[in-house]
Amino acid sequence: MNAKVRIARLSIISNTTLIIMKVVVGILSGSVSIISEAIHSSMDLIAAVIAFVSVKMSDTPPDHRHPYGHGKIENISGVIEGLLIVVAAVLIIVKAVKKLLGEPMELESIWIGSLVMFVSAGVNWIVSKKLYKVAHMTNSVALEADALHLRTDVWTSLGVAAGLGLIALTGIKWLDPAVAILVALFIIRESYSLLHKAFSPLLDTAWGDADIGRLEEKLKELKVDYHDLRTRAAGNYKFLDIHIQIPETESVGNAHNYCDRIEDELKSSFRNLTINIHVEPS
């Protein structure tokens, strides 16, 4: 089992455990902000399952139907996860507004609820840190999306814990749904960046400026005379099309060996890179 699949499975296990904790404490305490966190974690669990499936499928070798591989499955997964974040936020806002408009707010066991939120934040911080590490190592959009889910859960859990603490100290119960709404607005803001990052490669967007800069620097270092450079990405896979110029007196064999050296150098610098080189006489 590779690192991506292992860390995706860990995310599923941690989310399942935290959902059970939050639902039990939310029901016992009557806190809408804890219930909102349980809803948020439920979306995190769905996202974790989607990420788990997508990272397994994205590493499936190319076939006759998908000759460029299955990398974009991760981008589709990221879009779905981003939309799930928005759905979770809307559900939280609806429930919180109902509380503010007159539903009874009986809160009990506030300190226990606050403790559970701190535990949730700690667990999600550890798991999200591991997810980010593997996501950056493997350039996995799906794992990065899952990590973002959990990282937002960290801050929202801390926000809920702080809100419950204020309620315990001041007795102002409307702080509970107010904090829940702030949590939801924060979630929506985070979902925008995730959706943008996951959706862009589906339109065959070029590599980011940093990667393009590294590529151009490498080509300059190799003294390659090139033009018509095109790049795109699909999940954790990168694709490059380039036209290079070689003296017309060179043999086909020499030209082929030269192209092989360029490919080897670039593939050593960029993980999961597929290169298509078109040779032109200078």
In sequence order, the 6+-apart residues with CB closer than 8 A to the CB of 12 are 45, 48, 49, 52
CA angle 60, 63, 68 (to 5 degrees): 80
pLDDT per residue as tens digits for the range 189-227: 877 877 877 777 777 778 888 899 999 999 999 899 999
pLDDT at 84: 77
Mean pLDDT of the chain: 81
CA dist 43 and 49 (Å) reads 10
Looking at the predicted structure, is the pLDDT value of residue 108 above 60?
no
Looking at the predicted structure, is the pLDDT value of residue 44 above 90?
no
In sequence order, the 6+-apart residues with CB closer than 8 A to the CB of 126 are none
257 confidence band (pLDDT: 50, 70, 90): very high
Which carries the bigger pLDDT value, residue 9 or residue 100?
Answer: 9
106 confidence band (pLDDT: 50, 70, 90): low
pLDDT at 241: 93
pLDDT per residue as tens digits for the range 132-186: 888 888 877 778 877 877 887 787 788 777 777 777 777 777 777 787 788 788 7
Cα–Cα distances in angstroms (integers) from residue 132 to residues 7, 17, 51, in the given order: 10, 20, 13
103 confidence band (pLDDT: 50, 70, 90): low
Looking at the predicted structure, is the pLDDT value of residue 96 above 80?
no
Task: Give the distance from CA 279 to its chain's centroid.
Answer: 38
Looking at the predicted structure, is the pLDDT value of residue 272 above 90?
no
CA atoms within 13 A on the CB side of 262: 29
Q: Which residues pair with 245 in a beta bridge?
A: 280
Identify the burial level of 268 via C-beta atoms within 10 angstroms of its C-beta, where 0-12 means exposed, 13-18 middle and 19 or more buried: exposed
Cα–Cα distances in angstroms (integers) from residue 68 to residues 56, 138, 143, 273, 274, in the given order: 16, 18, 21, 11, 9
Structure tokens at 85: 């974040």
CB atoms under 10 Å from CB of 112, counted, come to: 14
pLDDT per residue as tens digits for the range 9-31: 888 888 888 888 888 877 777 77
What is the set of domains in the chain, with CATH numbers?
A: 3-203 (1.20.1510.10), 209-281 (3.30.70.1350)
Question: What integer is the mean pLDDT of 235-251?
Answer: 88
Percentage of residues of the chain with pLDDT beyond 70: 95
Q: Cα-flanking dihedrals φ and ψ of residue 242, to 5°?
A: -150, 140
107 confidence band (pLDDT: 50, 70, 90): low
